Chains A and B, each alone.
Chain A
Amino acid sequence: MNKPILNVKNLTMNFGGLKALDDVTIRLEKGQIAALIGPNGAGKTTFFNCITGIYEPTTGEVLITPPGKNTQSLRRLKPNYVTERGIARTFQNIRLFHGMTVLENVLIGRHCRLSSGIIKAMLQPPSQKNEEKQAVFDSYEILEKIGLAKYVNDMAVNLPYGAQRRLEIARALATDPFLLLLDEPAAGMNPQETKELDDLILWLRDNEDVSILLIEHDMKLVMSLSDWIHVVDYGKKIAEGTAADIKANPEVIKAYLGEESEDA
């Protein structure tokens, strides 16, 4: 059996007295689209932050096995090194670089794959020029794939909301990840945009060789996309399984409908 590309073991995150994550274990196989769901404040975003190095988990271990590489631990790695190892993410509250154009936002994603330093930037030898040209070309290609090419020179903030969410994905994709973490990619989208997002995520998995873990509240999207679903509530993992399993799971229904449903 192949090793899971992401293996999170017994992750716990305390904020003072609050246990935002309590002993969460999640595995992700290569090529999988998995979803992480749970009520508001369940700890989903915190889980992403722990993996990507924005928070340092109180206890627990995060192991990755990038395709064709050895298993390694992400313990105590700064966010930029996590990204360098092939995990890219988007943000629940859009965090684009508003002083930059759409293309430049994607170019930032390429940053960690470029080698020229300051001296080269000032002197611009052919190697730097070629690298820069290639980076612009690659970024443009990504924009075409994601369907944002027509906005290429617009300022990122001037994009419609749905396009901004897609740009976040484009930017993450530019870092050459093997695993994409999407934090509520459909939030604020209309049904048409959500449908397009659904197609895009499937297309990414099939053509870009990335596995995907997404947080989402839109159950229709989650159920149609996900090969595997993990459910957390109050920081604890309460269930995992296929869409059918999860729909039928009484614990999950209880978590979503609240405690009263027990008596009702």
Chain B
Amino acid sequence: MPIKNHIKQSLIIAFWFMILTFPIMVIKVNAIQQTIDFRWANFLWVGIFTFFASMIWNYFLRRNEEQKKTDIADDIPLVHRLLQNDRFRRPFLGLLAAFFIAYPFVFPMYHTSIMISALVYVMLGLGLNIVVGLAGLLDLGYVAFYAVGAYAYALLNLHFGLSFWVVLPMSALLGTLFGVLLGYPVLRLRGDYLAIVTLGFGEIIRIVLENWDDFSNGPRGISDIPAPTFFGHHFGQHDAMIYMYFIVIALVLMTIFFVNRLENSKIGRAWIALRDDEIACQAMGIDKFKTKLTAFALGATWAAMGGVVFAAKTSFINPMSFTIWESITILCVVVIGGMGSAIGVIAGALVLILLPEYLRAVAEYRMLVFGALQVIVMVFKPDGLIKSVRKVYTFNVQEKAIHEQTHT
């Protein structure tokens, strides 16, 4: 019975697609000979293709539903299982480390450059994950803090000659400061309202940068931003790229280290509690506003550091690098990767940033394929690529047994 329904449904979808794509797939206007060709074969192909795609889609959807019924929430992602297993953890991490260390030496510079971009998004994603994934604050203006970091480096270097290594910690503080300043007025709002207001703030920062010519050089941007130096030593172009790569790796490791600690601390738990239930959270003695503000400010800290790296890597910035689309891309990294899951966000950033680059092969369909992939992930893995897993605490079983004995 259900299979009959699926066939019927797929037929309807196929028919609908045939009509929908009729103008582009079937009709072909020959402007020179002023004739119209009807490519009826295409009409048929669209129908057949859509029908089978729909059947396959339905099949996987159904299997997904069935799986959900059998094991409720007990499925731990493979990566977590590998990391929890003592025998596999070391070789797994060792392989990963070897891959990332060898990467810039094995692959050409172009690939290193792309990888640096992806790793910057790992940083940004982990930062935004604090705000959106853990604390549940939908922030659509995250790019503002990224811009703050990038412009901080560009301008401080231009006017005062400050180096990358001096500006990096300064920008982190500046990011925190901006996070608090912007967070203070907007964090009284929640849900959709917060999203809209943060979106507005993000745009305001961009528009200011675009129009305040004396300060930011307007749409022309700032060029010749120097790459980081190694104790005063300047590298050639190729070595500079490799050096940059390892700086970003170090920053990503630092981010993972701190974010992981935060997540399993008092403050991290408070963020999750706030996301899950604001009222219960307050009733448990947690200061709602302070907790939100710390999440917002810490997220901004990492965005600003990411901005410094971005400016140093591209050596040119202008306001066009900081549009709303940037915020949305980072948000996609978090959502597709897995809200609240650091490993998921890392995977999300690598997939989402690397994939479009390598999809250049399919040129103009690249964004289409990319969009379709995102939809597929969201339908079949609503918790993201790698969902979050909470820390497991172990207790002395013997001690527990004694407790139980005395209790009964």
* Residues of A that sit less than 8 Å from B by CB: 52, 54, 78-80, 83-84, 88-89, 91, 95-101, 103-104, 107-109, 111-112, 114, 116-118, 121-122, 124, 128, 132, 135-136, 140, 144, 149, 152-153, 155, 157-158, 171-172, 175
Residues of A within 8 A of B258 (CB): 122
Residues of B within 8 A of A54 (CB): 279, 282-283
Residues of A within 8 A of B407 (CB): 144
Q: Roughly how many angstroms separate A158 CA and B75 CA in the complex, as a whole number? A: 13
A97-B280, A118-B262 known; A108+B269 contact, CB < 8 A: yes
Residues of B within 8 A of A101 (CB): 390-392
Q: Is the CB of A97 within 8 A of B276?
A: yes
Q: List the 5 shortest-distance A-B pairs measured between CB atoms, nearest first.
A: A112-B285, A121-B265, A83-B285, A95-B280, A97-B276
Q: Is the CB of B275 within 8 A of A99?
A: yes
Residues of A within 8 A of B392 (CB): 101, 153
Q: Is the CB of A116 within 8 A of B265?
A: yes
Q: Roughly how many angstroms separate A50 CA and B200 CA in the complex, as a whole number? A: 36
A97-B277, A121-B261, A144-B403 known; A153+B393 contact, CB < 8 A: yes
Q: Given B284, B298, B388, which contacts A112 in the complex, CB threshold below 8 Å?
A: B284
Name which residue of chain B comes closest to A176, CB basis: B285
B73 within 8 A of A: yes
Q: Given B288, B388, B393, B395, which contacts A80 in the complex, CB threshold below 8 Å?
A: B288
Q: Roughly how many angstroms separate A54 CA and B265 CA in the complex, as a whole number? A: 26
B27 within 8 A of A: no
Q: Roughly how many angstroms separate A250 CA and B400 CA in the complex, as a whole number? A: 52
Residues of B within 8 A of A98 (CB): 276
Identify which of residues 313-366 in chain B touch chain A, using a CB-to-CB cut-off of 8 Å. 340
CB distance from B283 to the nearest CB of A (A): 5
Q: How many residue-residue contacts, CB under 8 A, span A and B?
A: 126
Q: Is the CB of A108 within 8 A of B262?
A: no
Q: Roughly how many angstroms separate A82 CA and B140 CA in the complex, as a whole number? A: 34
Q: Is the CB of A158 within 8 A of B72?
A: yes
Residues of A within 8 A of B268 (CB): 121
B11 within 8 A of A: no
B224 within 8 A of A: no
Residues of B within 8 A of A158 (CB): 72-73
A97-B276, A118-B294, A132-B266 known; A80+B390 contact, CB < 8 A: no
Q: Roughly how many angstroms separate A128 CA and B266 CA in the complex, as a whole number? A: 10
A97-B276, A153-B392, A155-B73 known; A80+B282 contact, CB < 8 A: yes
Q: Given B287, B388, B393, B403, which contacts A103 in the complex, CB threshold below 8 Å?
A: B393
Count of chain B residues with Cβ under 8 Å from any Cβ of A? 39
Using A101-B392, A121-B266, A121-B267 as known contacts, list a sample of 5 further A-B pairs with CB atoms less than 8 Å apart, ordered by residue number in A. Answer: A91-B280, A97-B281, A99-B272, A111-B285, A171-B284
Interface centre among B262, B279, B285, B286 (most CB of A within 10 A): B285
Residues of B within 8 A of A144 (CB): 400, 403-404, 407
B14 within 8 A of A: no
Residues of A within 8 A of B173 (CB): none
Residues of B within 8 A of A97 (CB): 272-273, 276-277, 280-281
Residues of A within 8 A of B261 (CB): 121-122, 124
Residues of A within 8 A of B266 (CB): 107, 111, 114, 116, 121, 132, 135
B270 within 8 A of A: yes
Query: Would you list 24 pairs from A and B whose C-beta atoms are within 8 A, ordered by A residue?
Result: A78-B288, A80-B288, A83-B283, A83-B284, A95-B279, A97-B272, A97-B277, A99-B340, A99-B390, A108-B273, A108-B281, A108-B284, A111-B266, A111-B270, A121-B261, A121-B266, A121-B268, A122-B258, A122-B261, A124-B261, A135-B266, A140-B393, A144-B400, A155-B73
Residues of B within 8 A of A89 (CB): 283
Q: Roughly how many angstroms separate A84 CA and B286 CA in the complex, as a whole number? A: 9
Name which residue of chain B comes closest to A144, CB basis: B403
Q: Roughly how many angstroms separate A206 CA and B276 CA in the complex, as a whole number? A: 33
Q: Roughly how many angstroms separate A161 CA and B350 CA in the complex, as a whole number? A: 41
CB-CB contacts of B86-118 with A at 8 A, as 1s and 0s?
000000000000000000000000000000000
Q: Roughly how many angstroms separate A101 CA and B394 CA in the complex, as a whole number? A: 13
CB distance from B373 to the nearest CB of A (A): 26
Q: Given A52, A100, A122, A136, which contacts B262 in the complex, CB threshold below 8 Å?
A: A122
Q: Roughly how many angstroms separate A152 CA and B294 CA in the complex, as a whole number? A: 28
CB-CB contacts of B60-102 with A at 8 A, as 1s and 0s?
0000000000001100000000000000000000000000000
Residues of B within 8 A of A155 (CB): 73, 390
Q: Roughly how many angstroms separate A129 CA and B395 CA in the complex, as a whole number? A: 16
CB distance from B325 to the nearest CB of A (A): 29
Q: Is the CB of A112 within 8 A of B390?
A: no
Interface centre among B73, B286, B393 (most CB of A within 10 A): B393
Residues of A within 8 A of B282 (CB): 54, 78-80, 83
CB distance from B71 to the nearest CB of A (A): 11
CB distance from A95 to the nearest CB of B (A): 4
